Amino acid sequence: MTGSRRLALDQVVAYFQALEDPRSEINRKHPLTSVVVIALIAVLAGASGPTAIAQWAAIKEEFLASVLPLPHGAPCKDVFRRVLMALRPEAFQACFAAWVRSLRDEAAAQTGVERPTLAIDGKTLRRSHDRKNGLGALHSVTVWASEFGLTLGQVACDEKSNEITAIPELLKLVDVSGAVVTIDAMGCQKEIAGAVVAAEGDYVLALKGNQGTLHQAVVDHILERWGEDFAGDRVGRRETQGAGHGRRETRTYIQLEAPSDLPGFKAWRGLKSIGVAISEVIRNGKDADEVRYYISSLPVEADAGAFAHAVRSHWGVENGCHWTLDVTFREDESRIREVRLRENMAWVSRFGLSLLKQHPGRQSVAAKRRSCGWSDEFLMQVVGGSTS
């Protein structure tokens, strides 16, 4: 069994062989790949920072020594801290690229999804600020493959308003060809739409007041045509209903061809359709409605299927990624304030979540994470992508 464990970790170590060691050669006792791999699997097992990683490694030293080169035993917390502070986040994330691609290919084969929804959204680590030294909380933008439960990339920025410049950088890191990219209103920008289309993807972008004239024009056009029951229009419609947790919800999706007289129509590369999603919720006898408007490069379909799926799938980044990071990984409670360290740890947490979601077991992510801490065998299953 030790041989299969070593094989699983040998495959993981290979992804980090090209990572340049930022440490001085003087007193360099622990192989860089061993330090990085231990940090990753310790986070899977429940660790949340260098101190917890080192504590877990000390407890598991015998196991780790059987599968990784540890010429001087388990590293201490200062080693993990120095390494994760010194590694450039972009270089660190780049080493995961091949691994992410393999996970994406496997997920696509298993699910049969040929046109995934890639939801782009930002998240703030609320307690990672250091006001005394003028350091704001870390805000990062993530690409989440909703159908696969997989983080494909992350870029950090100073604050939410800087998402506009971070998203184009993120799109350079991720293969969006053949996918549908969804972004909330902050990312509804001509340059971002153009970048998605240039990369051979499609987009569904939410509209709000930041696109004032365009937003109002879309609202006016849809309401006008609705009043005429869309007579003579090429229109797609879909309605879904759901119930649970004391609530009933009806979702209505309408998709229309984008009229050429929309403000700035020609500047929006690939623009083919506009749409509206209406959510009508009844909870405890009270009604609550929400209406959202969109522009998209998707063509109009009679059942508005692709549009409705993209809109609905976008919220997977909130529920499947950000909420889980807060509740299960306790990310919002992190007080890590070194710039590179917090960004690298944020990426490790997202990638660890992705590995846990790829495991086919029916347990919750929290239960799987506990199992990783309790069982070396289960931990190796998650890392190696197997169940035996």
Q: Where are the beta strands (DSSP E) in the chain?
A: 117-124, 139-145, 150-157, 180-183, 202-207, 235-244, 247-257, 273-283, 286-296
User: Do residues 143 and 152 lie in contact, with contact meaning Cβ atoms separated by under 8 Å?
Assistant: yes
Domains defined along the chain, listed by start: 2-87+340-384 (no CATH), 98-322 (3.90.350.10)
The whole-number pLDDT of residue 353 equals: 95
Name 364's Cβ contacts closer than 8 Å, sequence gap at least 6.
none
Q: What is the pLDDT of residues 151-210, one digit of tens each?
A: 999 998 766 557 888 899 999 999 999 999 999 998 999 999 999 999 999 999 999 877
User: Do residues 50 and 65 lie in contact, with contact meaning Cβ atoms separated by under 8 Å?
Assistant: no
- The rounded distance, in Å, linking the Cα atoms of 189 and 161 is 13
User: Do residues 37 and 6 lie in contact, with contact meaning Cβ atoms separated by under 8 Å?
Assistant: no
Q: What is the pLDDT of residues 4-19, one digit of tens each?
A: 666 668 888 999 998 9
Q: What is the pLDDT of residues 95-140, one digit of tens each?
A: 999 899 999 999 999 999 989 999 999 887 776 666 777 666 678 8
Instruction: List beta partners, residue 274.
Output: 256, 295
Does position 3 have pLDDT exceeding 70, yes or no?
no
Q: What is the pLDDT of residues 82-98, one digit of tens each?
A: 999 999 999 999 999 98
User: pTM for the complete prediction?
Assistant: 0.90
Residue found by looking up tokens 């509209």 in the block: 207
Quickly state the pLDDT bin for 27 (edges 50, 70, 90). Answer: confident
The whole-number pLDDT of residue 99 equals: 93
The whole-number pLDDT of residue 210 equals: 74
Mean of per-residue pLDDT scores for the chain:
91
The whole-number pLDDT of residue 213 equals: 92
Whether the CA torsion 66, 71, 77, 83 is positive or negative: it is: negative
Q: How many angstroms separate the Cα of 109 from the Cα of each of 99, 100, 288, 300, 351?
A: 16, 14, 39, 27, 20
Q: What is the pLDDT of residues 252-290, one digit of tens each?
A: 999 999 999 999 999 999 999 999 999 998 877 788 889
